[in-house]
Each structure stands twice: as structure tokens, then as C-alpha cells.
Amino acid sequence: MVKARLKPGDLIDGFLIEAIAHNGGMARIWAVSRPDIDFPILMKVPVIGEGDDPAAIVGFEMEQMILPRLSGPHVPRFVANGDFATLPYIVMERLPGTSLYPLLERLPLPPEEVAALGAKIAVALDSLHRQHVVHLDLKPSNVMFRESGEAVLIDYGLARHIHLPDLMDEQFRLPYGTAPYMAPEQVLGTRSDFRSDLFALGVLLYFFATGERPFGDPQRLKGLKRRLWRDPLPPRARNAAIPPALQEVILRCLEVNPAWRYPSAAQLALDLQDLSAVKLTARAEKMKRDPLGMVLRRRFNPVPIETVKPQTAEAQLANAPIVAVAIDLAASTPDLADAMHRTVARIIENTPDARIACINVLKINRIAIDTSLDEEGRNKHVLRLVELRTWSTGLAVPGGGITFHVLEAVSPADAILDYARENYVDHIVMGARAESAMRSMLGSVSGEVAAHAPCTVTVVRNRPRPGGAPDTG
């Protein structure tokens, strides 16, 4: 390997070295440019010397392997990889502004700001997880933001791509990560569970909401392992301004057993975007750490860690879809409502961690400025919610939970589509409007939704009985 000492003005594979942007322990980062690239770019060059930590080299190899395979607004755009035989480097997009790190100066942040930040990071994690990558080093200094507002996750040196060989695994004995943020299963050496990133986000949220790290900053393996049995002080005991719903979300992220956390980053994002819809459990009301007796029992009889292998990580995620069920009870027959119920029950049976959102569109008049606030409007709204709840009776949702929403809109199809886009919906289930004059006059809502949806759409329709009258209603 050529040990080139780069300096401003050097030209490497067409990239002009301009100025040093960051001098880190593992890598040096240069601002660079190339005439054909019209966005700001950086060159990351690993610091490799005699006797250096071999993990630093492997981490750089992993980043060279993973970054070119990622796309979308939540990762820095990849430009080029330099050959290890000559000069190893990665050139990527330079993001504006700074990471979340400087924010540590002014913690705690107001709870609503914490929830909003958390929601953006969860959306970025969802995008990463859907590209088969576990970040495994989520922390404030690795989160940046685009001018358009999206969170961008940087530094893939500890990341794992489920479909690519893990060079970090097996090579080193100590678990790699950043001590305050590492999930318990990561401490034990698992590097393939998407939910490890949700734990790290839980630590970040706890830190930002209280100003304290939930597990401190242990420097040894023994201290790292403490989080397997010792629960943190509940956030509300540190900061009374934190609402129970935010504590519920944070403590669910910090569950020792990955299976007790959110099953997906998208479901976590959904809760952080609307804390009012969070289902509260004992976590929300907890004001003290667990009593010593319980902690001791846990120490010698540990909490199960139901983690996943690389081969099953994606199935775990696929088991947790967000399903929007659009029902129009006024316009459907009892048969159709039953068929919808059966369809949703089957989805829950097959994907037990599904989150079900039952939605109903309350059509509002384009001309009237606002009728929803008058008493009649409010009554209609409440009545629809009651109808949705009644319809859902008997649907047992063990994992993700079930929520009810009445959307007010001029166009039902647009309302359903907007809801699906804004809430990371994986699957829309809706009933077909029956054969009728209405459908030929207005067109089919389900047809429009199916044509434009960003996800799978199931249109439930009852087959007419042979010889019977067609299903009208």
C-alpha cells in the first residue's frame, strides 16, 4: 500500500484535494471536488499505520462495500471507492450543517422536539433497514440533516449488510460499537438484528429528553453487560416535563429483549409522530427503577434475548407491516364488512407483529369552508370512530396494536393515498364499492387507490352467488 500523504492541491483519480474537513482517529476527511460532480463532496481516507486496530481497516472495508449499495435521501450519496492497493478512500456527498453532536451542549430538549427528532431518525432507520442494513452505531455524531429536513445516517464502519459477508464478525472478540448506545444483543455479539438500532435510538431519545445517558458510558465489557439486567431510571423521574407517552416509547425501545421492542422502525416512527395514539402500559407510569430483588433475580436468571439470525432478520421485519384498513361502513353490505373482517384477521394471523390502522374517510363538501367543527360535524366524526371500533371487535392484534382514524377529505382516494404515504403503510385493505350507478358515475375509489398506492393493495369483493342477484348495496 502506498502511504501517500495528501495535501491541498493534490489530484487523486480526478478528485482535487481542497482542504481538511475533519481529522479523526480512524480517518481523515478532505473536502474535494471533481468538475463533473455538481454537489459538495468529501473524501474519507483511513488512517492506517503499523500496529493499528485491525477493526479500523475492516470497518473501512465494510463501508466501502455497503455505501455503494445504499440509496435514497437518508444516506450520503456515494461517488467513488479508491483501491486499497494504491490509496484507499471513499468519496461521498458532503451534507450541509453539523451532526446532532453540538446539541449535547443544550440538553435536555423539550419533549416535543425530542419526539420530532426521533421520528425523523426512525424514518431514516426504516429506509436503511429496508435496504438490508443494520447501522449498529447510531449516535448523535452519526445523524445529520438535509436542508429539506430528512435525517441522514452517516458512518457505516460498524454496519452490517444482511446480504453481504460480515467481515467484522468472527474476526474480533470484543463487541464493537459505541458504549452508551449498544443494544444488549450487540454487547453479546449479535450483528444482524434490525432492532439493535431501535435500542440505540431509545438511548439517544432518553439522553436528549433528560440530559443523562440511561446506562452511562461504561469503558469495560463488564460495565457494558450491566444493561442486560439493570434497568435505567425512568425518564420522567429525571424530567417531569416528559409526557407518559414519550416515556412509554423510550422504555419500549430500551427493552433488553429485542422481541419486546418495536418490531420495526416504521412502527416506532408512527408512534413518535403522534404520541396521542401511543398505547400506554406500565412503562408509561414507571417512576422508579426496578426493586433490587427483581434486579438480582434478573442478574442470575436473565431476561431472554430473542434475537434473529441473518437468515431470519428480514422475515422478522416482514412480520411487522403497517396495514391500513379503509372501511366505508355506510356504503358496504354486511357481507362485505364480514369479508373485510376475515381478510384482516388472516393478515394478523400471518403477520402477528402487524400494526393495524383502521381509517374512514368523512367526505366534506368542497364548497363549505369548514363544517367539521360544528356540532353536527363532531358528532359524525365520533359516530364514525364508534363504528370503526365496533367493526374491529374480535380482531386480536397481539403485536403492533390497532388504531382508529377518521380522515376528513374531499376525495376519499386521495385521503387514503396520502395517509399511506405519510404513515409508511405497507398494505392497504379496502372494500370494493358494489356494482352500482354510484361506481359508474364516480369511478372506483379502490381502482384509483390500487393504481397509485406506494404499497400492496387488497381489494375485498364478494363473489356474486351463482344464479343469485349481484351484490348491490
Partner 1 sequence: MLLAILSDIHANREAFEAVLAAVEGAGADRLVLLGDIVGYGADPEWCAERAMALAAGGAVVLRGNHDEAVGNPAVSMNPTATFALEWTRRQLGSQTRAFLAALPFEAREGDCLFVHADASAPPAWNYVLDASDAGRHLAACAARVSFCGHVHKPALYSTAPGGRVTHFRPVAATPVPLLPQRRWLAVMGSVGQPRDGDPAAAYALYDTQSAELRFQRAAYDVERAAGKIRAAGLPASLADRLLRGR
Where on the chain is the footprint of partner 1 (CB under 8 A)?
54, 57-58, 61, 64-65, 83-85, 162-167, 169-171, 310-311
Q: Which is nearer to partner 1, 309 or 363 (CB)?
A: 309
Q: Which is nearer to partner 1, 84 or 260 (CB)?
A: 84
Least Cβ distance, residue 64 to partner 1 (angstroms)? 7
Judged by DSSP in three states, 293 sits in helix
Q: Which is nearer to partner 1, 20 or 315 (CB)?
A: 315
Contact by Cβ (8 Å): 27, 14: no
Least Cβ distance, residue 68 to partner 1 (angstroms)? 8
Q: Which is nearer to partner 1, 173 or 366 (CB)?
A: 173
Query: For residue 7, how many C-alpha atoms fall within 13 Å in the half-sphere facing its CB?
Result: 1
Contact by Cβ (8 Å): 102, 25: no
Q: Which of 64, 89, 63, 69 is nearest to 159 (CA)?
A: 63
Instruction: Output the nine-digit C-alpha cell for 69.
Output: 449499495
Least Cβ distance, residue 175 to partner 1 (angstroms)? 16
Contact by Cβ (8 Å): 10, 17: yes
3-class secondary structure for 21-82? EEECCCEEEEEEECCCCCCCEEEEEECCCCCCCHHHHHHHHHHHHHHHHCCCCCCCCEEEEE
Instruction: Output the nine-digit C-alpha cell for 182.
Output: 449498544
Q: Which is nearer to partner 1, 63 or 255 (CB)?
A: 63
Least Cβ distance, residue 187 to partner 1 (angstroms)? 21
Least Cβ distance, residue 70 to partner 1 (angstroms)? 14
Alpha-carbon 40 to chain mean position? 27
DSSP 191-254: ---THHHHHHHHHHHHHHHHSS-TT----SHHHHHGGGTPPPPPHHHH-TTS-HHHHHHHHHHT
Least Cβ distance, residue 59 to partner 1 (angstroms)? 12
Q: Which is nearer to partner 1, 61 or 290 (CB)?
A: 61
Least Cβ distance, residue 259 to partner 1 (angstroms)? 23
Least Cβ distance, residue 172 to partner 1 (angstroms)? 9
Contact by Cβ (8 Å): 403, 395: no
Q: Which is nearer to partner 1, 64 or 210 (CB)?
A: 64
Judged by DSSP in three states, 160 sits in strand
CA distances from 360 to 117, 165, 224, 407 (A): 29, 46, 47, 6
Q: Which is nearer to partner 1, 148 or 311 (CB)?
A: 311
